[in-house]
Structure formats: structure tokens, C-alpha cells
């Protein structure tokens, strides 16, 4: 049984109010597109650099997000299964695999 826990270091300035704006933006953005990622997984896998540069402030987040998919390709279905768990823990940037 595989276990993985990773804490994503916050690259944004915590004193910057924009951080919260981006947080909610990502939260709903990924919720809305989740199934699109699921069905077009390989498209996103190969195209993650495009999304990484979608916005200057998005760079680290997007890069990490798609790298995560890339690195844990073999655990993709586990990610799918635990998606809602991640969704509610998203604010803390904790991700778990079992």
C-alpha cells in the first residue's frame, strides 16, 4: 500500500490580499474543470506548460499541479477516488495517496 504526503510550499506573499483571490479562483476553476481533466488527462499532461504560463501569478501553482499529475500518473485513479478529500483540504495544499 503506497502512501504519499506532500506539502506544497506557498510561493505567494501571505500578506498580499491577492493570495486569497487567487486561492478561490483556483478552487472553483479546478472544481469546474475537474471532469474535463479526467477525460482529457493526457492532453493536459503534455500541455501543462501552456497552463503554467497562463498568468504570471499562476506559474508555480500550475507547474506544480501538472507536475503532480505527471509524476503520479500510475496513481491517477487514486487521485480520482480521493478528489473530494483534496477538494476540502485544498486550502492547506495537502495531498495524500494510499
Residue spans per domain, the chain = 4-97
DSSP conformational letter for 12: S
SS3 32: helix
Residues 6+ apart with CB under 8 A from 6: 68, 94, 95
pLDDT, tens digit (0-9, with 9 covering 90-100), for 6-35: 333 333 334 444 444 444 444 444 544 554
Q: Which run of H or of E encompasses 64?
A: helix 59-71
pLDDT in tens, 35-92: 444 444 444 444 444 444 443 344 344 444 444 444 444 444 444 444 444 444 444 4
Cβ(46)–Cβ(40) under 8 Å? no
pLDDT value for 78? 44
pTM score, two decimals?
A: 0.14
Using the structure block, give the residue that is written with the C-alpha cell 506557498.
Answer: 10
Amino acid at each position: 500500500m503506497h502512501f504519499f504526503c506532500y506539502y506544497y510550499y506557498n510561493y505567494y506573499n501571505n500578506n498580499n490580499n491577492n493570495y486569497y483571490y487567487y486561492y478561490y479562483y483556483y478552487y472553483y476553476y479546478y472544481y469546474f474543470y475537474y471532469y474535463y481533466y479526467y477525460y482529457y488527462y493526457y492532453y493536459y499532461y503534455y500541455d501543462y506548460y501552456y497552463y503554467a504560463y497562463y498568468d504570471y501569478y499562476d506559474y508555480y501553482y500550475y507547474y506544480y499541479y501538472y507536475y503532480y499529475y505527471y509524476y503520479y500518473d500510475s496513481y491517477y485513479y487514486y487521485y480520482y477516488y480521493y478528489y473530494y478529500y483534496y477538494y476540502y483540504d485544498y486550502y492547506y495544499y495537502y495531498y495524500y495517496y494510499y
